[in-house]
A and B are shown apart, each in its own frame.
Chain A
């Protein structure tokens, strides 16, 4: 692993190593190795391009020959994709001269490897075979189906009967799984070049949600050699009863962007699909392609069947030789803000950087930050630089336009969110600017890698902290990158709601025995520790809902036959499964349409011009918080909310410079535990302060003199009066999500301790609570015990009581209910319109919680809450860490360290729990209005 300090998203170019002025040390050995591993045809192809195969490309070929699965860890520009496909291309290029009868191209038992190695190297097809016949031509017709122009006669002689009156050739050889369908399509296109240039008899096709039904059907009967698809499509294919026919010939599976896939429920779904494939195609070997992760050996477990009581991992191949990135923090000439996330102070400097470079990617953490920054840059763009905006909520056509312009090198800058973290290759990006908090070192390294399309050239990046705390975060992130310290999360343990979906999918295919399916599921790494009790609960859930009250036997969705095999009860269940497969539960989105303004804005649409240009989509949750007339930033401009009609939000152009309603939601990812730890260390290390900008150094020194700078493992709690209220500020540094939960639970406890709390606010670093009781006095006189207040037992009854009504918990439950198949996101027939929502999962949550609190779906939601929106696990770890290490400072007024979080009061919109106060406030306004 040494020698690489930059890890990033993989390139989409299929390339080898360009000639280098300095010959690598291992060159002679490598070329002999290359001769041994690469057929002549491939050697010539590399040579014709002036390339030589890279070491990790050969290493994967060697692993393939040894019949081993492998995880390749490589940065952008390393030829990762070609490395992943080389074993497949080599194997398929060497169709053995054949077998007189029977068998496919790949006789069972032997697989590839040493036996055919010599023949492989000798290149069995010195001359391209004749063009294939009409029948195959038809097979390959259709958009998106790519195929080399040639196919050997042998292939046709290999047609075999499958017993389903369908003929096929050797069958599917390699599956490629990508998290993005656009990526699958792009890779298929790029694979065509080498395949055509070498004249390989290989048929390549994609299968995504956009693939027409006719081609999908044909793909099942006449599978291509290589199929590129997504985890959801794989699940669908596996749920068909001809899955054994389709997959029994499978030799390889290539999993792209594995580091990104495994962090979510999609990874769980994929792992269960893999377990199925290992059973259907025991010869199948996997290749994982990944950016650098903290624990490669853990990730490598994903690629091989796990066994009871043993941790088995694929071999890990690490590409070396990338240049370390050059990362700096913007040394701003301006005054550093105390709070906020806009980095408006540095606008001029950001603009200047864009002007000085050819193409700059400007990453921000949230959509609204992107909107605001884009708007600000545009306002000051006197040079008329081509600057574009890219985020996930923009209209797809709009995004494609930006991507195309970018690929063509027509853009000087793109302001973007994580929407560009993964994905296809972008022209020549020479600078990445990251605005705001880096959040995590691995995430930042991957982003920075976007600026590097030449493996051996250094990426350049500039970090722009938006406030003083973010300076600390940027500083430690730069140090972490220099040490190549990774902080990707550990491998997930598989979610029970995803398992429920998989079990239903299995029942849609060939009927299964519970014992066998349980054994199979245990081979998947995320589910290796699944208990039989949980598994049985899930089967019970899929069948009849898993309720203690057994009243739904006659409505069972899956049923056992006499042999004990489970199968779907009726075709409607199968149909519903097919419509609802997948683990991505989108927020309900509304289309935003721009119309001409109508003064007043009463919420009715009478005088509104209907139609209007679609600007993009926005979360329904956000719109629900608005009243007509409110302004917010969208599509790069300030707009006024006019009305909501069905699923369309009508907005008009507002002339306001600033939007009334902030939409900063803190972004999806909290500060990583690792960076948080480093920030605490930095604070504790006086000498390290010298490396910080003067303004920040000064700020911390003031804090030291006035109050205290928290030590690494300590929790600093400050109390002080302000106005007619009393404040408590603490600094756990555990990220916004954990802090929100903490704030919610602390206020409950303080209420019980009669400190009369009124509200709280949380940011990434701190929590501030205010109320009427004099906290300093109460602590001084032993009426409020901080050790008791922060005791981990708050995760007991207090948490339970809060979960009963928490909107975040209800949202988590809803996602589980959808993924598990309890409720359908899509019904047979058309999608229900908004008014026709038949019941609310919030109501279901309330009832289930009261009557069967240990139901498997509630357990699944609890497991999600531990790491998801409530971040309970992290909160628990923190509370344990700080026990007996709480330092209290009683202050006369607000401390320098507390200023940032105090400034956010009233500025941030925080997820609120439904409250009488808000209703009362609305009622009061009415009264005031009536009295005036």
Chain B
């Protein structure tokens, strides 16, 4: 058994991959950075998922929104993007934004200060109000790149929705992590929300999307990203 980090010499907190000829940086935080544009993309925040469950009697700790926004704030402070795109399902249900605490509202406002902010609507939050700050859109296109919530498989598309995760096994041990999935032409982002679960990249939804099982997973490790062929993951 290897103690964590014992033999690490190189620290790769970002890993580059191409989408339709454009170089994107997958960040260890689970966000995507388009350096040239200073554009940060974050997907599936699922804010207020805790309180959404609480309404139905499952009293999950009510700290998920603060936890998610806290992590996002750290990324924003580090990369200082010009523009942020929240790639849909930013809120866990249609009324989730109404349940935001005052502090969390302030945190969102602070994130939006001095930069452009675009909320892309998703299936969980199809009708976002304008009171949240920033713009609301169903999709955004910049050059050949198209940002939308639900992937269609189009070339140049960066989407979320599927919450990809991958498991790697060796000699009876397994590690499972959230991951980016990409094949050079399109990519699916991992979910960022504190309570967001995952779907194995071996699910047929991914095979359909990429038209083949030969795509790549970029797993979010503890201290670095790992690029592994999807066919080796479960």
The answer to whether B232 and A922 touch across the interface, beta carbons within 8 angstroms, is yes
A851 CB-CB contact with B under 8 Å: yes
The answer to whether B2 and A572 touch across the interface, beta carbons within 8 angstroms, is no
B223 CB-CB contact with A under 8 Å: yes
- Which residues 112-169 of A have a CB within 8 angstroms of B? none
Q: Which of A19-27, A327-335, A420-428, A751-759 contacts B (4 or more CB under 8 A)?
A: A751-759
Tell me the minimal C-beta distance from B16 to chain A in angstroms: 15
The answer to whether B168 and A855 touch across the interface, beta carbons within 8 angstroms, is no
A835 CB-CB contact with B under 8 Å: yes
A917 CB-CB contact with B under 8 Å: yes
Tell me the minimal C-beta distance from B71 to chain A in angstroms: 10
The answer to whether A555 and B54 touch across the interface, beta carbons within 8 angstroms, is yes
Tell me the minimal C-beta distance from A891 to chain B in angstroms: 23
**How many angstroms between the C-alpha atoms of A759 and B4 in the bound complex?**
10
**How many angstroms between the C-alpha atoms of A758 and B59 in the bound complex?**
41
Q: A547-B61, A844-B60 are in contact. Are A913 and B4 (CB under 8 A)?
A: yes
Closest to A663 in B: B172
B76 CB-CB contact with A under 8 Å: no
Tell me the minimal C-beta distance from B174 to chain A in angstroms: 4
The answer to whether B171 and A661 touch across the interface, beta carbons within 8 angstroms, is yes
**How many angstroms between the C-alpha atoms of A851 and B60 in the bound complex?**
13
A264 CB-CB contact with B under 8 Å: no
The answer to whether A545 and B59 touch across the interface, beta carbons within 8 angstroms, is yes
A599 CB-CB contact with B under 8 Å: no
Other-chain residue from A555, A576, A851, A916 in contact with B67 (beta carbon distance below 8 A): A851
The answer to whether A913 and B1 touch across the interface, beta carbons within 8 angstroms, is yes
A16 CB-CB contact with B under 8 Å: no
The answer to whether A922 and B172 touch across the interface, beta carbons within 8 angstroms, is no
**How many angstroms between the C-alpha atoms of A661 and B222 in the bound complex?**
26
Q: A603-B234, A743-B1, A844-B61 are in contact. Are A919 and B168 (CB under 8 A)?
A: yes
The answer to whether A627 and B57 touch across the interface, beta carbons within 8 angstroms, is no
**How many angstroms between the C-alpha atoms of A840 and B229 in the bound complex?**
25
The answer to whether A915 and B222 touch across the interface, beta carbons within 8 angstroms, is yes
The answer to whether A926 and B175 touch across the interface, beta carbons within 8 angstroms, is no
Query: CB-CB < 8 A to B227: which residues of A?
Result: 923
Other-chain residue from B59, B173, B203 in contact with A557 (beta carbon distance below 8 A): B59
The answer to whether B54 and A916 touch across the interface, beta carbons within 8 angstroms, is no
**How many angstroms between the C-alpha atoms of A920 and B170 in the bound complex?**
11
The answer to whether A912 and B1 touch across the interface, beta carbons within 8 angstroms, is yes
**How many angstroms between the C-alpha atoms of A843 and B111 in the bound complex?**
24
Tell me the minimal C-beta distance from B165 to chain A in angstroms: 10
Chain B 97-116, CB within 8 Å of chain A: the 1/0 string? 00001000000000000000
Q: A823-B58, A844-B195 are in contact. Are A926 and B232 (CB under 8 A)?
A: yes
The answer to whether A919 and B67 touch across the interface, beta carbons within 8 angstroms, is no
A29 CB-CB contact with B under 8 Å: no
Chain A 550-587, CB within 8 Å of chain B: the 1/0 string? 01100101000000000000001100100000000000
**How many angstroms between the C-alpha atoms of A837 and B163 in the bound complex?**
13
Query: CB-CB < 8 A to A913: which residues of B?
Result: 1, 4
Q: A552-B54, A922-B226 are in contact. Are A847 and B173 (CB under 8 A)?
A: no
Tell me the minimal C-beta distance from A220 to chain B in angstroms: 26
B169 CB-CB contact with A under 8 Å: yes
Closest to B173 in A: A912
**How many angstroms between the C-alpha atoms of A384 and B57 in the bound complex?**
59
Query: CB-CB < 8 A to B171: which residues of A?
Result: 625, 661, 909
Closest to B207 in A: A604
The answer to whether B59 and A822 touch across the interface, beta carbons within 8 angstroms, is yes
The answer to whether A551 and B101 touch across the interface, beta carbons within 8 angstroms, is yes
**How many angstroms between the C-alpha atoms of A572 and B4 in the bound complex?**
44
**How many angstroms between the C-alpha atoms of A676 and B67 in the bound complex?**
45
B221 CB-CB contact with A under 8 Å: yes
B209 CB-CB contact with A under 8 Å: no
The answer to whether A917 and B7 touch across the interface, beta carbons within 8 angstroms, is yes
Query: CB-CB < 8 A to A916: which residues of B?
Result: 4-5, 8, 221-224, 226
The answer to whether B228 and A923 touch across the interface, beta carbons within 8 angstroms, is yes
Chain B 45-81, CB within 8 Å of chain A: the 1/0 string? 0000101011101111111101100000000000000
Query: CB-CB < 8 A to B83: which residues of A?
Result: none
A747 CB-CB contact with B under 8 Å: yes
A921 CB-CB contact with B under 8 Å: yes
Tell me the minimal C-beta distance from A509 to chain B in angstroms: 19
Chain A 834-853, CB within 8 Å of chain B: the 1/0 string? 01011110011011101110
Other-chain residue from A547, A625, A919 in contact with B62 (beta carbon distance below 8 A): A547
Query: CB-CB < 8 A to A78: which residues of B?
Result: none
B143 CB-CB contact with A under 8 Å: no
The answer to whether B2 and A555 touch across the interface, beta carbons within 8 angstroms, is no
The answer to whether A848 and B63 touch across the interface, beta carbons within 8 angstroms, is yes
**How many angstroms between the C-alpha atoms of A914 and B5 in the bound complex?**
11
Closest to A930 in B: B229
Q: A545-B54, A843-B195, A847-B64 are in contact. Are A756 and B6 (CB under 8 A)?
A: yes
The answer to whether B67 and A850 touch across the interface, beta carbons within 8 angstroms, is yes
A910 CB-CB contact with B under 8 Å: yes
Q: Which of B55, B169, B177, B229 has the most CB of A within 10 A?
A: B169
**How many angstroms between the C-alpha atoms of A847 and B229 in the bound complex?**
31
The answer to whether B226 and A847 touch across the interface, beta carbons within 8 angstroms, is no
**How many angstroms between the C-alpha atoms of A761 and B196 in the bound complex?**
34
The answer to whether B172 and A625 touch across the interface, beta carbons within 8 angstroms, is yes
The answer to whether B59 and A919 touch across the interface, beta carbons within 8 angstroms, is no
Chain A 215-228, CB within 8 Å of chain B: the 1/0 string? 00000000000000
The answer to whether B234 and A838 touch across the interface, beta carbons within 8 angstroms, is no
A662 CB-CB contact with B under 8 Å: yes
Closest to A857 in B: B61
The answer to whether A835 and B199 touch across the interface, beta carbons within 8 angstroms, is yes
The answer to whether B168 and A760 touch across the interface, beta carbons within 8 angstroms, is no
The answer to whether B222 and A758 touch across the interface, beta carbons within 8 angstroms, is no
7 A-B contacts (beta carbon < 8 Å): A552-B59, A663-B172, A758-B3, A843-B197, A851-B63, A913-B1, A915-B2
Name B's A-contacting residues (CB within 8 A): 1-8, 49, 51, 53-55, 57-64, 66-67, 101, 167-177, 194-197, 199, 202-203, 213, 219, 221-224, 226-229, 231-232, 234
Besides A805-B4, A846-B194, 17 other A-B contacts (C-beta < 8 A): A555-B57, A557-B57, A557-B59, A603-B234, A626-B169, A626-B172, A662-B172, A771-B6, A805-B222, A839-B197, A847-B195, A850-B63, A909-B173, A917-B7, A920-B226, A921-B170, A922-B168
